[in-house]
Structure 1
């Protein structure tokens, strides 16, 4: 097999066995794509990628579920980018939150595909990633475009610290507890909470918690 016709090697990470099996079935019909491994979560993926690295068999592309236990798709994307910069990552998810798209791309993901994508779209994303191109699901691309031309609002209007505060509010922490957790004064914590509510146009901490859950920042 010459260099041009060699298979593109792929590793799949998803906490649902049926999804991994489904992807494997899709890839069996692709002439130039070969599945070389799988994992049920990000932590397990990093362990198995380390084993493949030792054997000089790292995959070219890793398909990552967005929401997984132990290490989610965003965290795993960051870890792969840091340890194996030559490996491309594609986020595979049933969600299309714009915040998570931007976070994944910022950390080095080279694609974002929804789980209801067709086999052809998945193959296209894998091949684009292997060519060092960015592939976005059309629906996600539209959202990104709208975001670029629309004024900043919602979670995008929050600073990094305010997002941290939002997560802590959603976890039920008081201003005092937030202050202790972030090593800031209670007055500063109170100000952050107030800013979060104001920027999100919310009236209560309960509403803020619901927003954080809806956007996938914390689990229900």
Structure 2
């Protein structure tokens, strides 16, 4: 199995260095590069149209013309199953919050060792959200600070079926795979997912999976 990667980074030396690290790893292939958010969206769409949709996108959070957060939001809006890892030199709470709100599944500081980068790519490719422990607590604090009303600080109670579906979401299953596994119509699963996000007061599947693990909902 080969994991295809779209690499989005505005600094040429950093981008070349990341490419070298990734292509030395067996089973990894960089299928495209972008130097800003606009290029990232364009390259992703071009590769998808050619039947070569990247398995994982490594996205710098700060790029010219369009930021990585803006690009991630566009990609996940058009392709909810896009798997994006944000790269940054900062661990500020608002950066983390905005990245996950945009649908990113992972968040890495650029000073991580190569083996941690590889592990994160493998986790996100498997559908598992990955946040470094040193910034995970900041993320949870920011979720609590950003726009939560007093009633929304605790999730509404989920039904057994909703918990079952949430667990599959946390394992990276798409709506189609969930439907097949539970013998449900894909449209029914889509409705369940919408209800789950509403009950948890989250905006996307990644947020829901992170909150479920933090609250030990399963």
Q: TM-score, normalised by structure 2?
A: 0.64
CA contact (8 A) 1:60 1:86 kept: no
User: Which residue of structure 2 aligns with residue 82 of structure 1?
Assistant: 77
SS at match of 1:63: strand
* Residue from 46, 52, 62 that aligns with 1:67: 62
CA contact (8 A) 2:57 2:84 kept: yes
Residue 53 of structure 1 and its aligned partner are, at CA, apart by 1.6
Residue 84 of structure 1 and its aligned partner are, at CA, apart by 2.2
- Larger RCO (CA under 8 A, 6+ residues apart): 2
User: Which residue of structure 2 aligns with residue 101 of structure 1?
Assistant: 96
* Residue from 127, 147, 150 that aligns with 1:132: 127
* Residue from 13, 19, 34 that aligns with 1:18: 13
User: Which residue of structure 1 aligns with residue 31 of structure 2?
Assistant: 36
Deviations 1:182-202 (A, max 9, x none): xxxxxxxxxxxxxxxxxxxxx
Give the distance between the partners of 1:138 and 1:94, measured in 2 at CA.
16
CA contact (8 A) 1:27 1:35 kept: yes
SS at match of 1:109: coil
Give the distance between the partners of 1:26 and 1:95, measured in 2 at CA.
21
> Cα distance 1:148–1:39, how it changes in 2: closer, same or farther (>3 A)?
closer
User: Which residue of structure 2 aligns with residue 200 of structure 1?
Assistant: none
> Is there any run of 5+ residues in structure 2 with no aligned partner, and where?
150-218
Give 1:41-190 correspondences, 5 Å limit: 41-145=36-140, 147=141, 152=145, 156=146
Give the distance between the partners of 1:85 and 1:157, measured in 2 at CA.
23
Give the distance between the partners of 1:83 and 1:142, measured in 2 at CA.
30
> Is there any run of 5+ residues in structure 1 with no aligned partner, and where?
1-5, 160-220
Give the distance between the partners of 1:52 and 1:19, measured in 2 at CA.
22
Residue 148 of structure 1 and its aligned partner are, at CA, apart by 6.8
